[in-house]
Amino acid sequence: MEKKYLTCAETAKLIRKDLKANFPGVKFSVRSDRNSINVRYTDGPAEKVVQAVARKYEAAGFDGMIDMQYYISHWMNKATGEVIIAKDQGSTGSGGCHEGHENACPGEGWAKVSFGANYIFVNQEITAVVMEEAVEMVAEKTGHNDLPKLGAIKKDSTKAGWINMDAFLGNGRD
């Protein structure tokens, strides 16, 4: 069976489609370069949930224990676009800790593909408004009504926010 090689741009198109189907109403920025894809979005679902959808298109993995990249090929259903791993080389054969595995062709209508992006990065920005809501929810659930309000939340030029952790220090929540 012949393997189809997709470019990074073609892989980005598949990711956009998958994200749109899984998270309707959320606006994602999906940008590709030579061999990686960056997915960015504001607020919305948890970053780990978005990573689970987007990163299944990665063509490589990295084992930092031995500083080694390994490759991953996939099976893709021609009709539905569903994707599963065909072969994950892993790194154990080189003394690493990532166990590889291989899956046989699931059946008719599946093709072996190699995606054009070795790595896919997902970055979520959280607005100050959502952060303030999160602080209020934590305060309500924990009974700590002295948690910092919006004044302790900083903003940068993108209007995204983060909590100034210094505001929490000294209140028994170090």
So what's the pLDDT on residue 150? Answer: 54
In terms of Cβ atoms closer than 10 Å to its own Cβ (0-12, 13-18, 19+), residue 16 is middle
Task: Find the radius of gyration of the CA atoms of the chain.
Answer: 21
pLDDT in tens, 149-165: 555 455 554 555 555 55
Residues of the chain below pLDDT 70: 1, 146-174
So what's the pLDDT on residue 3? Answer: 83
Its sign, for the CA torsion 125, 13, 32, 70, is positive
In terms of Cβ atoms closer than 10 Å to its own Cβ (0-12, 13-18, 19+), residue 97 is exposed
So what's the pLDDT on residue 69? Answer: 93
So what's the pLDDT on residue 169? Answer: 47
So what's the pLDDT on residue 97? Answer: 93
